[in-house]
Structure 1
């Protein structure tokens, strides 16, 4: 083992992800084969957040009163929850802390400001607290060095996707539909194109927020399978207005978050639209149009990069049948030819893929592998991402 790994005798890495949907903790127990550097998912674990924790997280997406105290109390509280989830995974698999080489901790993004003066990103879920509570070394804060090098600090997973598709010859797109949607473009082998990846815009964020705003008494936190959206009618005028948004029209490298695409953004958009069109839409019509917006913003970026290939879907949005159907329709309604599947088609669990990526990022840190992609993030140089925290 290399000196970074120290005297650890463990066999596995754990990847930890808490996404912008703020719905829970994903854990991936991963084993690596040093000769090919490809991961094997051994087990996974999911722990959902209760409503109080979810509200604490989402309340920090926008500036507000006493936010430093709120953020850093939550920093420790989340680390405690992460620790409990990891111990539950170890118990589930009958493992000890000594069986784990390291935890790759993405943490919980509460603010992402990758452009303008003094850009920054902030992920909480204290790595040092997590290491101390679990007795396992933690590798975390993966985004900061890329940003110090002038990059967006996101997305980080395209280089991991590249590891998974080394034996593929066709052009491939991996589309992750979380709170924010992002794509990875893996060009056809032998082409002059380079690997690209960026956030396309909202995934489930606006759909979830609008659903919750109109279903206060619902036990669900989201529009299951897009059922409510399916009762509405897409308004093409409003959809066109959404697509003219400054972020949607900007070119990569680019990344965004729920501090941008949120109910304030939507309220502003609807105010402009109502004044211009002098009509009021039903809440279901707006939900249908938001669903179409997610599908069109993703498909437009795919079509701008290639006219044929394979598209693999992952993330929570895969379970929204209406959204998947809308995306498929847009990708097959032109002369382009795309085959659309979930990650199951390549024997991967799309729900746990991002957590696996952070296990790989910890592995890459330990083995001094390049783990950012300047063509993706806009950084001035390649580097190994992350910092280590000892128990």
Structure 2
């Protein structure tokens, strides 16, 4: 799995029968590949050629992760049923134009390098069926974190935040909330040359700008009803700069972006599951103590935990989810939840590149 935060690749060896992770490996993208993937999120010259080369580079990077997982566990590759590979999202426009989503990955090259059946392009079929193609993780969250008789919400804090609402009577819904790390990461990279704001330390030196926060929260996406999904197509530094008044100190902008990330989640949870007993946070943003503390203060009646407290470390959940989706594919079981994505019905998700 490599997500919109562009912080790198997380790979897991996943036991689908036990719903457990046997091994986890993380590797950051090389600076040149990361810069190119970020650039490909916006129109530019020679895109087809550059995207094809980037897709090859992503495939080779994924294959390296697979090799590390197999070596670390002593697992013969023929014992692995399938490799679920997300690819790198560079465009996500399910509701615009003719509706499409694009995850860069050369599945054929990955199958050739890894010598394991590859299941990839996991979002397109849901979009073809009229859905958002995202979020796809709520079904996995239900399988791992759902509790009969308890209303539980699961919050993934990647580049974008998304909620899975696991109702105690068995119903599951979910949707994207808005930016989690993508704007904060972009802003600190621009002003301090750092990839992310560790523990929200820089944001904690600033003060929230009420005027800027109100302007950002006026974005129509936040008020839109689910099903809905978003990405860097909307929430990027150009979007921020267009709304940024003159004279706001950079650290205050960072503090305001952290507040935006917390507020869009808290507002969404209060609107769609106000009775939630527990909020389980995962993803890289779950390591941002300042962000979690602000969420806790905005949701005083909710028990805030990390997924690690439920047995799955925060940086393993999404990779495990896409391994689980690959397992659904090879068992010929649907992977989407139409109540979440808005698709016309359950669909088998993914395309197969045999070993």
- Alpha-carbon distance between aligned partners in 2 of 1:330 and 1:31, rounded to the nearest angstrom: 36
Q: Which residue of 2 aligns with 1:29?
A: 13
Q: Which residue of 2 aligns with 1:325?
A: 293
Of 73, 88, 91, 2:68 maps to 88
Q: How much has 1:168 moved relative to structure 2? A: 4.0
Q: Which residue of 1 aligns with 2:99?
A: 119
Deviations 1:52-93 (A, max 9, x none): 111011011111111111111111111111111111111111
Deviations 1:36-67 (A, max 9, x none): xx512111111111211110110111111111
Is the Cα–Cα contact under 8 Å of residues 307 and 338 in structure 1 kept in the other structure? no
- Alpha-carbon distance between aligned partners in 2 of 1:298 and 1:266, rounded to the nearest angstrom: 18
Q: How much has 1:165 moved relative to structure 2? A: 2.9
Q: How much has 1:22 moved relative to structure 2? A: 1.1
- Alpha-carbon distance between aligned partners in 2 of 1:135 and 1:341, rounded to the nearest angstrom: 38
Q: Which stretches in structure 1 are left out of the alignment for 5+ residues? A: 1-16
- Alpha-carbon distance between aligned partners in 2 of 1:169 and 1:343, rounded to the nearest angstrom: 19
Is the Cα–Cα contact under 8 Å of residues 199 and 255 in structure 1 kept in the other structure? yes
How many equivalent pairs are there? 354
Q: Which residue of 2 aligns with 1:5?
A: none
Matches within 5 A, 1:153-172: 153-172=133-152
Q: How much has 1:377 moved relative to structure 2? A: 0.5
Q: Which residue of 2 aligns with 1:297?
A: 264
Q: Which residue of 2 aligns with 1:140?
A: 120
- Alpha-carbon distance between aligned partners in 1 of 2:147 and 2:131, rounded to the nearest angstrom: 29
SS in 1 for 2:81: strand
Q: Which residue of 1 aligns with 2:313?
A: 349
- Alpha-carbon distance between aligned partners in 2 of 1:114 and 1:321, rounded to the nearest angstrom: 33
- Rate the CA distance shift 1:130–1:359 in 2: closer, same or farther, 3 A: same
Q: How much has 1:370 moved relative to structure 2? A: 2.0
Q: How much has 1:119 moved relative to structure 2? A: 0.9
Is the Cα–Cα contact under 8 Å of residues 145 and 310 in structure 2 kept in the other structure? no
Deviations 1:214-259 (A, max 9, x none): 013xxx3111111111111101121111111011121111111112
Structure 1 residue 201 corresponds to structure 2 residue 185 = no
Q: Which residue of 2 aligns with 1:228?
A: 202
TM-score w.r.t. length of structure 1 = 0.88
SS in 2 for 1:312: strand
Q: Which residue of 1 aligns with 2:217?
A: 243
Is the Cα–Cα contact under 8 Å of residues 207 and 251 in structure 2 kept in the other structure? yes
Q: How much has 1:307 moved relative to structure 2? A: 2.5
Is the Cα–Cα contact under 8 Å of residues 143 and 153 in structure 1 kept in the other structure? yes
Q: Which stretches in structure 2 are left out of the alignment for 5+ residues? A: none
- Alpha-carbon distance between aligned partners in 2 of 1:315 and 1:157, rounded to the nearest angstrom: 12
Q: How much has 1:166 moved relative to structure 2? A: 4.1
- Alpha-carbon distance between aligned partners in 2 of 1:45 and 1:345, rounded to the nearest angstrom: 20
Deviations 1:170-221 (A, max 9, x none): 110100000011010011227xxx31111100000000000011013xxx31
Of 225, 228, 234, 1:254 maps to 228
- Alpha-carbon distance between aligned partners in 2 of 1:188 and 1:365, rounded to the nearest angstrom: 27
Q: Which residue of 1 aligns with 2:334?
A: 370
- Alpha-carbon distance between aligned partners in 1 of 2:145 and 2:154, rounded to the nearest angstrom: 10
Larger of the two Rg values belongs to structure: 1
- Alpha-carbon distance between aligned partners in 1 of 2:189 and 2:336, rounded to the nearest angstrom: 36
- Alpha-carbon distance between aligned partners in 2 of 1:385 and 1:325, rounded to the nearest angstrom: 36
TM-score w.r.t. length of structure 2 = 0.97
